[in-house]
């Protein structure tokens, strides 16, 4: 099997597995307990917090462990709503993840809040001028802007947008789930107030995530109870998951150091895939090609080829890809991300997402290119179509 759907979830890294195993067996104590059996567990949680802080370039006390990206996104949004009830205006982007868009929609429907949804350019990036115009000093509570898109990999100008939000008195939240371990994240001294990560997107297990909370801001917890995580997220800690996400952060940091030294093996393979498919197939377009993208993601449109049919044929050849976000698989509506970029329904239904990881090999990419070209040819043959 060739797995190229890493934006949906990633396989567990061997180092991560080794790190978490002792906390599924011998080190089972509750880290909040006062006896000796709990001390190594407590130390492991503290070490994991340090590892995540090192990846994000922030303070250790700014790291809150959660169940995943969805909880982190929701917690950030609902905290802003509780802290500033008089500020009922939120700004987001039409290409955000459902964890953000649905939470904001509930605030519209339940609380009567107003949400401004920014469009995107054809390359998937927002217009900072449009953001500036959308901000309402004294009324805008929170700006939510995804750092890297889950379908296209397009990276948004988060640093500039966060500075704009703060200058008008609003909080700024970014969903960085698809950015962790792929592009540098440097929060120290910046204007980002909250940030979400999900462990299973960078080789940790499912069910553990991170919420960064800037120490300069107040925070209203979504979950209350025993006071864990500095009172910002109650509940007995998922120690094995926390140790795992800490090790995944350490592995991701090592990878980014390699990238900073001038070599990104993931980008090399992604670019090879796009280049070879484009050379061997007519009518191939890379969505978001004109913008900065995460080095692992290709959103490819093949003219005259239905993505759903391609997925079936690729699956038969043992190649796993996606027709967009895994959250939308099985639905008939076109991707709101692609719609925001100006693609019509026919173009969106010709789009496949191919997402690599640092575990992807050159041999897998060569085989995947052959399978991709073969599958597109078969669909065109059956449909009696060529590229438009």
Q: Do 299 and 374 meet the contact criterion of CB atoms below 8 Å apart?
A: no
Q: What is d(CA 378, CA 334) in angstroms, rounded to the nearest whole number?
A: 23
Q: What is d(CA 42, CA 39) in angstroms, rounded to the nearest whole number?
A: 5
Interacting residues of 230 by C-beta distance below 8 A, sequence separation 6+: 61, 64
DSSP calls for 335-388: PHHHHHTT--HHHHTTEEEEE--TT--HHHHHHHHHHHHHHHHHHHHHHT----
Radius of gyration of the chain from Cα atoms? 21
Phi/psi of residue 2, nearest 5 degrees: -110, 115
Interacting residues of 146 by C-beta distance below 8 A, sequence separation 6+: 93, 95, 96, 97, 100, 156, 174, 175, 176, 178
Q: What is d(CA 26, CA 23) in angstroms, rounded to the nearest whole number?
A: 6
Q: What angle do CA 369, 375, 379 make, to 5 degrees?
A: 150
Q: What is d(CA 226, CA 260) in angstroms, rounded to the nearest whole number?
A: 41
Among residues 113, 168, 320, 327, the one annotated as catalytic is 327
Residue 327 annotated as catalytic: yes
Residues annotated as catalytic (active site), given as ranges: 327
């Amino acid at each position: 099997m060739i797995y190229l759907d890493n934006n949906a979830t990633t396989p567990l890294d061997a180092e991560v597995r080794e790190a978490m195993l002792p906390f599924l067996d011998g080190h089972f104590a509750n880290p909040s307990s006062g006896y000796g059996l709990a001390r190594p567990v407590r130390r492991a949680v503290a070490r994991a917090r340090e590892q995540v802080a090192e990846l994000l370039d922030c303070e250790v006390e700014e790291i809150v462990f959660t169940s995943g990206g969805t909880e982190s996104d929701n917690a950030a949004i609902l905290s802003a709503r509780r802290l500033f009830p008089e500020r009922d205006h939120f700004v987001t982007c039409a290409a955000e993840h459902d964890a953000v868009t649905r939470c904001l929609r509930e605030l519209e429907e339940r609380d009567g809040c107003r949400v401004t949804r920014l469009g995107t350019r054809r390359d998937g990036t927002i217009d900072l001028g449009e953001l500036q115009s959308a901000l309402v000093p004294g009324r805008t509570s929170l700006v939510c802007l995804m750092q890297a898109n889950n379908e296209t990999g397009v990276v948004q100008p988060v640093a500039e947008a966060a500075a704009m939000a703060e200058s008008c008195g609003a909080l700024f939240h970014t969903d960085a789930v698809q950015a962790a371990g792929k592009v540098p994240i440097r929060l120290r001294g910046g204007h980002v107030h909250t940030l979400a990560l999900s462990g299973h997107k960078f080789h940790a297990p499912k069910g553990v995530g991170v919420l960064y909370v800037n120490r300069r801001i107040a925070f209203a917890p979504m979950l209350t109870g025993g006071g864990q995580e500095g009172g910002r997220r109650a509940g007995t800690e998922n120690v094995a998951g926390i140790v795992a996400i800490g090790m995944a952060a350490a592995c991701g940091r090592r990878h980014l150091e390699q990238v900073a030294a001038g070599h990104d093996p993931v980008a090399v393979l992604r670019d090879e895939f796009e280049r070879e498919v484009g050379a061997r197939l007519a009518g191939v377009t890379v969505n978001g090609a004109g913008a900065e993208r995460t080095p692992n993601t290709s959103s490819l449109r093949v003219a005259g080829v239905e993505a759903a049919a391609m997925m079936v044929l690729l699956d038969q050849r043992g190649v796993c890809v996606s027709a967009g976000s895994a959250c939308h698989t099985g639905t008939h509506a076109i991707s709101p991300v692609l719609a925001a970029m100006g693609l019509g329904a026919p173009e969106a239904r010709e789009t496949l997402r191919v997402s690599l990881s640092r575990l992807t090999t050159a041999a897998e990419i060569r085989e995947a290119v052959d399978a991709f070209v073969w599958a597109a040819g078969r669909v065109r043959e059956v449909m009696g179509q060529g590229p438009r």
